[in-house]
Homo-oligomer: A and B are copies of this chain.
Amino acid sequence: VLHRITAIVGTTAPREGEIFIGDDAAVLQGFAGQAIISTDVCVYGVHLDRDLFSLEDLGFKAVTSALSDLAAMGALPRGIVIGVSAPAGTDMEALHRGVSLASTLCDAPVVGGDLTSGVDISIAVTVFGECPGGGAVLRSGARPGDGIYVTAPLGRAAAGLRLARSGVSLDDELVLAQRRPWPRLREGLALRGAGVSAMMDLSDGLSTDLHRLADASQVGFALTSVPVATGATLEEALNGGEDYELLLTTSDEARLLLVCADRNVPAPIRVGTITSDVTSRTLDGDVLRRGGWEHRL
């Protein structure tokens, strides 16, 4: 099994002097500047509906949702390691095809892994990257007066889940947004280059994640508009999770738009303004409560 899996995920050749799978640990050449590291665990049936989505979806989504945390820092991926646990008889090749596809598309090679038996089908993905030319963008840098932006209209993943449950084809564009989310890595790099003051990824919904950014920055916010993706509802755009778009703030919109145009990434959409009163968190003047999905455990 290990040999077959290695053949599936180990398709990216290491750089000169690097070693991926096969020794006690992977050996990578030095990182440019800071090392950025994050880990995510996805359990089939908890994070992804077993009746609607395949093991290939699980592998793909586990990798891209983890890489989204690198995008949120403005980091360039250097690699990932995966820890898989599954009962005997699980189609491990399907799971690892999803991992491999995501890894290849995102240019984030699988440099190591572990495989064990368990009752759950579970995959832990640890991602690591670097920030050449500068430091990572934190959640805590938003300042009063900064504009608040998102990288695209929201609610696609939540709409896709609703549609999948109603029997819409798995190849529907919104259903794909749920099954095969995409980390905004190119956007994150460009936005770091544009000197944005704070950034995070939208994993739990704007109405939850914007509170988190404001908490970390000790500021308030005035949301003035919520861009709703075609086919999604306002409620899905505001409270739906797993879009993995980026949420960011900056005081320099001109530079933001210039750098995004120069890097050929879509111009972020302004949704509001950071305010100084940490207790003032509004949407069109009304109090915006934390409404998104909260982790249950």
Contacts and interface: CB of A to CB of B under 8 A. Distances in A.
Interface string A29-65: 1111111111111110011000000000000000000
Interface string A107-130: 000011111111110101011100
Interface stretch (A17-25, A162-170, A234-242, A275-283): A17-25
A37 B26 contact: yes
Give the number of copies in the complex: 2
A79 interface: yes
Given A41-B84, A117-B297, A36 B31 contact: no
A24 B117 contact: no
A interface bracket (residues with beta carbon within 8 Å of B): 35 or more
Interface stretch (A70-78, A98-106, A142-150): A70-78
A176 interface: no
Among A46, A118, A120, A140, chain B packs the most CB atoms within 10 A around the CB of A118
A24 B85 contact: no
A149 to B, nearest CB: 16
Contacts of A78: 35
A108 to B, nearest CB: 13
A28 B23 contact: no
Among A22, A37, A72, A136, chain B packs the most CB atoms within 10 A around the CB of A37
Given A30-B31, A39-B114, 12 more contacts: A23-B136, A24-B69, A27-B34, A39-B124, A39-B126, A40-B114, A41-B115, A41-B116, A85-B120, A86-B297, A117-B297, A119-B120
Interface of A: 1-2, 17, 19, 22-43, 46-47, 69-70, 72-73, 75, 78-79, 81-86, 88, 111-120, 122, 124, 126-128, 135-136, 138-140, 200-201, 216, 295-297
